[in-house]
Amino acid sequence: MVDLRTLLALMAVADAMLAFASWFGAAGHRQGTAQWAGSLAVRALALGIILTAAQPQAGALALGTGLLALSVTLQAAAIMAFAGRQLPAWVHTAALAALAVPMQMLANDAASAILFGGVVLGALLAVAAGIAWQVVGDPVARARRLLVGAFAIAAVALAGRGIAAVFVAEPARGLMQPTGFAATVALATIAVLVASTFAFLLLHNARAQAEATRLATTDTLTGAFNRRTFREIAEREMSRARRANQPLSIIMLDIDHLRRLNEDYGHEAGDAVLQRFADIVRTALRKEDMLVRFAGEEFLVMLPEVSGPGAVVVAGRIRRAVADMPIEANGHLLQVTVSLGVAARLDEGPESLDGLVARAESALQLAKQRGRNRVVALSLGRSIAA
């Protein structure tokens, strides 16, 4: 037999401590931590109110269970805030009233009160699990699965415990002093509800790690990969292309006269051009292609499994897309063009990454010498005849 009152008291203490740690430990109460800390404080208060009642069907049970419903909606709001969304404020009031009022009306019918409270709380937790699954993105998928799993287990356990109350002789006693399987379910429910807080904190930790990785591998202005990351990935792609005898192409891109744009319109305009330019180039690429900010206004595109002629087609598509789309920058509508140089891995034999990039740079220089806003390709290998 388990004394549920003792377990709930321990849970209330744990919630209060976690609420304190979440509130004061999260810098700036970032993305939902304030709502989550509030939900833990509300849940600790709800458990305290329930524990003060001499019998579980006393009037305090209505207020306590209503506050439990509020704690779940606050957790749902925290998850929404983590995803940059907002849960309507009326949901909290509606959830509290929807559980507290009927529970007060069922105060003299323990079985019905336990059934209603368990099913409604289970349904709210199921909704919270669905929200977590829908709005939390893939970069934190592992932590999302833990959170959804914790909510789902608690939802099933609470709903099942409520339904089971209908089939026992003393539902109030069975609720507060469960035995056998019911005791195991009670322990599991409390454990996963506490674990959900750690899962939510893991969401933030996973996002922080993903953001650190992004900052270390990409250019913060354009979102393109940086040069160091390009070398790490490109060396692997080059080795794979050699082993499998597959094509690999490089396009070097240079925004025409960007320095003049900076001088005429300011560096803010130049930055806006770089950002918009990167967005335009990405629309012309596949998911497996790689856009790199190589140096200043110079970019690089790596095209795995694309031969030289195919790369020339991609380069032409990029050139036209940039020329056909004026870029708004610092209050001005600017017509921007780009010069492009293309090189492909030679079929005749092995070649280093540096050699491939050097040929693409030479092709780019020729494009600029020939008047800019054009594509030039050099030494595409035997595949050029295909």
pLDDT digits (tens, 9 = 90+) for 178-222: 566 667 777 878 888 888 888 888 888 888 887 777 777 788 898
The mean per-residue pLDDT over the stretch 129-151 comes to: 84
Q: What angle do CA 158, 108, 101 make, to 5 degrees?
A: 65
pLDDT of residue 383: 38
For the segment 255-263, the average pLDDT, to the nearest whole number, is 88
Could you count the other beta carbons within 10 Å of the beta carbon of residue 323? 14
Q: What is the pLDDT of residue 175?
A: 61
pLDDT number for residue 316 = 95
Q: Residue 170, by phi and psi: left (phi above 0), alpha (psi -120 to 50) or beta?
A: beta
Distance between CA atoms of residues 60 and 48, nearest Å? 10
Residue 293 phi, psi (nearest 5): -85, 110
pLDDT digits (tens, 9 = 90+) for 11-60: 888 888 888 877 776 555 467 888 999 999 998 998 888 877 645 545 67
In this prediction, residue 53 carries a pLDDT of: 61
Q: Do strands 290-295 and 298-304 pair parallel, antiparallel, or not at all (unpaired)?
A: antiparallel
Q: Which residues contact 119 (CB under 8 A, 6 or more apart)?
A: 158, 159, 162, 163
Indicate if the pLDDT at residue 260 is higher than 60.
yes
Instruction: For residue 382, name the pLDDT band (cuts at 50, 70, 90).
Output: very low
Torsion on CA atoms 60, 65, 69, 71, rounded to nearest 10? 70
The top-scoring range by mean pLDDT among 134-138, 202-206, 333-337, 349-353 is 333-337
Q: How far apart are CA 305 and CA 240, in angstroms?
A: 10
Average pLDDT of 298-311?
93
312-333 residue pLDDT tens: 999 999 999 999 988 887 778 8
Residue 218: phi and psi, rounded to 5, are -125, 160
Q: What is the pLDDT of residue 329?
A: 77
Degrees to nearest 5, angle at CA 303 with 297 and 304: 145
Distance separating alpha carbons of residues 8 and 200, to the nearest angstrom = 21
CA distances from 46 to 62, 97, 100 (A): 10, 14, 11
Q: What is the pLDDT of residue 384?
A: 38
Prediction pTM value: 0.69
